[in-house]
Amino acid sequence: MIQRTAVRIEAHNPDNERATWQTLLARSVTRPETLLQRLGLDSRLLSDGAHTGHAAFPVRVPEPWLARIRYGDPADPLLRQVLPLADEGEPRPGFVSDPLQEADATATPGLIRKYRSRALLMVTGQCAINCRYCFRRHFPYEDHRLTPTQREDVISTLTASPEINEVILSGGDPLAVNDRLLAQWASALSSVPSLTRLRIHSRLPVVIPQRVDDALVGWIEQSRLDVVMVVHINHPAEIDDDVRTAMNRLKSAGVTLLNQSVILQGVNDHPDTLQALSEALFAAGILPYYLHAFDPVAGAHHFDVSDDRARAMVRELQARLPGYLVPRLVRELPGRPGKTLLDVGME
């Protein structure tokens, strides 16, 4: 359910509004004890398993996201996405460190080719927020750090692959990189004749809306490539006035805005929540794109929702919403030439 009536931390903190995105990123809460203290919650929520989870995949919560969490509510859906729980220390059969087998799809350091016409460029391993369900929480980012020579190798590989017409900037979060380097990447990618689109997968304009600044908009507007940004929003409470302002600015720069969500137990596993999310996305200028079935990553089994439940929720959305507001329910399976659509049984 999506009622949110509890007292919350003041979302429009003047200090946050004046700070640069880099400052806000540096101020992120990085200890689970601090996170609970800031929200008026009992530190006994942190068991040994939770500490094990934090040690393996450290907490990172930026201030603008923290401001949207309901104060004093341990079940808040935004808190659940970032707080390590005891479940993380419990191994489960079938939940593995590389559920999508991306290690087998590396074409050259930093460049992953899982699909014929698209290539995924790992720009950075850094994120603005560490989501506990992340399918790359165990990813060996240190093996994908690119030297200047390797960046040239990426461009050479793309130039020699005319079937690729789209590059996806990923990570980590590519917008955690400074705009000088991103502008250099955009310029280099624009030199590849076969490329027509640049897709950016990012959570940063949601968790730190101040990331959408003059520098970011500047290099986007200068690129010859059509820019598509796929943001990641799981719950309608993630969208506030600052996020809507950021999305409007991206749209004004000519960016096509899409959203992908993950179906998560205790976060958005109810048709009312998913309906409200689709409506809130559209009001912010974003089209629902994908609803991902949960990837079985080790340490996150407590978020898992069965495919049958997910199908039932999407069928309910089809009955409530126009087709363009119903995200496609998909699962990514290793070795497939694209996402696998899960048949929900009605249209």
**pLDDT attached to residue 60:** 95
**pLDDT attached to residue 105:** 58
* Cβ neighbours of 308 (radius 10 Å): 9
Digit-coded pLDDT (tens) for 220-242? 999 999 999 999 999 999 999 99
The DSSP code sequence of 17-52 is HHS-HHHHHHT-B--HHHHHHHTT--GGG--HHHHH
**pTM beyond 0.85:** yes
Q: Is 12 exposed, middle or buried (0-12, 13-18, 19+ CB in 10 A)?
A: exposed
**pLDDT attached to residue 7:** 42
**What distance in Å separates the CA atoms of residue 18 and residue 328, rounded to the nearest whole number?**
38
Query: Which two tokens mark 82?
Result: 């970032």
Helix axes 241-252, 214-222, angle to 10 degrees: 30
> Residue ranges per domain, the chain?
14-89, 102-341
**pLDDT attached to residue 180:** 96
**pLDDT attached to residue 72:** 97
Amino acid at 328: R
For tokens 């991103």, name the residue.
182
CATH annotation of 102-341: 3.20.20.70
Asked if residues 280 and 235 have their Cβ atoms less than 8 Å apart, the reply is no
Digit-coded pLDDT (tens) for 264-291? 999 999 999 999 999 999 999 999 999 9
**pLDDT attached to residue 144:** 58
Split the chain (347 residues) into runs of 10 and give each run's mean pLDDT. Answer: 44 64 97 95 85 87 98 97 85 67 66 89 90 72 73 94 96 93 97 98 97 98 98 98 98 98 96 98 98 83 92 97 97 76 76
